[in-house]
Amino acid sequence: MGIPGAMSQATGLVKNANSTWLIGKPLKEDLENALARPVRLENDANCFALSEAVDGTGKGARVVFGVILGTGVGGGIVIDGKVLTGANAIAGEWGHNPLPAPTAADLPHPPCYCGRTGCIETYLSGPGLARDHEKTTGQRLTAEEVVSLQGQTLARYVERLARALASVINVLDPDVIVLGGGMSNVARLYTEVPRLWGRHVFSDRVATRLVPPAHGDSSGVRGAAWLWE
């Protein structure tokens, strides 16, 4: 099962879920009791990255960074076909880092449910895109409607995504970055973001490929099944 958030290795309780009602709950234990069978639980972005790394657009790549750009922003890392969970079960969780190299247009930093301000998620989630559009135009639209306008709000989104992914490349240097979640359906991300991220990457050239998912924006449900491989 893929969930937004992670299971605390210290307590066995859910943490970091943007579905905040899961936080502090023994979800795995509750499910195992209700189903009378073992359950494997992983972060949804980790499941997504696994699905695409095993037999999706990341197939054959050694290091895959899977990104969820949906109601929240998450990330997962798969190396040699295996999920990297990490010492704190947060490997790849870039969504609550601050947006790098902020400009005047990024201010004031939006508040985040996590208690911080200016988190990447507050700019790059679907609701974040809609909020940015309302802030600058006064128009209340859904993220889908903002995308269909193909205007300045989406241009700002593209440039922010380039900055945010450049910081991932500088740390992890993945072969492939695969996008998931509703925003991964925006075709221009795959051409425009790689044109912009170079100025923030500490390298003469960027060989990392930015690709759409092979198994759709909800590819993570497949990855959850791969947890039993």
Candidate residues 96, 156, 160, 222; the one interacting with Zn ion per rule CB under 5 A: 96
Task: Choose between 125 and 219: whose C-beta lies nearer to Zn ion.
Answer: 125
* Interaction pattern, residues 32-71, with Zn ion; x per rule: CB under 5 A: ----------------------------------------
Query: Contacts with Zn ion in 116-155 (CB under 5 A)?
Result: 116, 119
114 binds Zn ion (CB under 5 A): yes
CA separation for the pair 219, 229 (Å, rounded): 16
Cβ-based burial of 36 (10 A; exposed 0-12, middle 13-18, buried ≥19): exposed
Candidates 56-64, 90-98, 168-176, 203-211; binding stretch for Zn ion (CB under 5 A): 90-98
CA separation for the pair 165, 74 (Å, rounded): 12
112 binds Zn ion (CB under 5 A): yes
Is the Cβ–Cβ distance between 42 and 17 less than 8 Å? no
Q: What is the DSSP letter of 206?
A: -
Task: Choose between 51 and 122: whose C-beta lies nearer to Zn ion.
Answer: 122
CA separation for the pair 57, 109 (Å, rounded): 34
* Residues at the interface with Zn ion (CB under 5 A): 96, 112, 114, 116, 119
